Amino acid sequence: MEPGPPRRNEDVWVIVPCYNEAPVVRGVIETVRRHFPNVVAVDDGSRDNSAAEIQASGARLVQHPVNMGAGAAYQTGVDFALRDPGAEFFVTFDADGQHRVEDVIAMVNHLRGVDTEVLIGSRFLGSVEGMSTSRRTLLKAAVVFERMTSGITLTDAHQGLRVFRRSFARILDLQSHDMSWASEFLTRMAEHKTTYEEFPVHVEYTDYSRSKGQRSINSVNIGMDVLINKLLRGR
């Protein structure tokens, strides 16, 4: 469904962390900015010319002088967007082009009509292209893991496309440095009894995004990080 004239969406901030994504980041951000004027791209210490590409795309650029990981980059984007008093909706969006801006439009429109604080995109409610069976199985296992550690039940626990309100952005405070941010996000939701819904999204794995993506073995690291963070949190 294509919306007619694009809505202004000035109360929405799209946060795009970027680490060595120079070949695609500009195109991704330009597509997003057709519908959402406020985009903050966090260059997480890239060694290629991602920063120049981001600036050419018209997004706000926040640059980490050193690489700090995806979780830290998302948190920087959230902190930056929170400085805008008009920011009401926050979107986490991947720089490698696997997410579709149509899904963001639908999610934001949905959130405007309900009281829910967080919308989590789900590949398994929607559709996914180019995902291997082994990856699918692993992600199903991750869902069970999240249910056990955070008590939050989802069909897709490690999907990066999420939309949330200012109230949740203020308490997010991601501390994990790498890809376990997705789990920490859920932990924070559980701690604060945040209201949430899942929303079907379409994810397209291109050769590019696959080459940049997570290796499955990293799920071991993520799992350990989640358990350690859980053990240490709040003490």
Partner 1 sequence: MQWIKIPLVLAAILILVIVFRNRQRVELRAGSRLLVVAMAAIAVVSIIDPDIPQAFANLLGVARGTDLLLYLLIVVFVLTTLGLYFRLRDTDQHLRRLVRSIAIDEAIRQDGPPGAPSGAAPGETDPRTS
Distance CA 96, CA 23 (A): 9
Q: Checking DSSP bridges between strand 162-165 and strand 89-92, what pairing results, if any?
A: antiparallel
189: which 2 tokens? 């939701």
Distances (CA, A) of 87 to 16, 36, 166, 171, 229: 16, 12, 7, 15, 29
Size of the site for partner 1 (CB under 8 A): 33
d(CA 232, CA 13): 31
Q: Is 184 in the site for partner 1 (CB under 8 A)?
A: no
Residues between 5 and 34 that touch partner 1 (CB under 8 A): 8, 10, 13, 33
* 83: contact with partner 1 by CB under 8 A: yes
Q: Which of 51, 72, 169, 172: binder of partner 1 (CB under 8 A)?
A: 72
Of 23-31, 56-64, 110-118, 160-168, which part binds partner 1 (CB under 8 A)? 56-64
Question: Which residue, 58 or 130, has its beta carbon nearer to partner 1?
Answer: 58
Q: Tell which positions 87-126 bind partner 1, by CB under 8 A.
A: 87
Q: What is the closest distance, in whole angstroms, from the C-beta atom of residue 128 to partner 1 in the complex?
A: 32
For residue 145, how far is the Cα from the chain centroid? 19
Does 231 bind partner 1 (CB under 8 A)? Our answer is yes
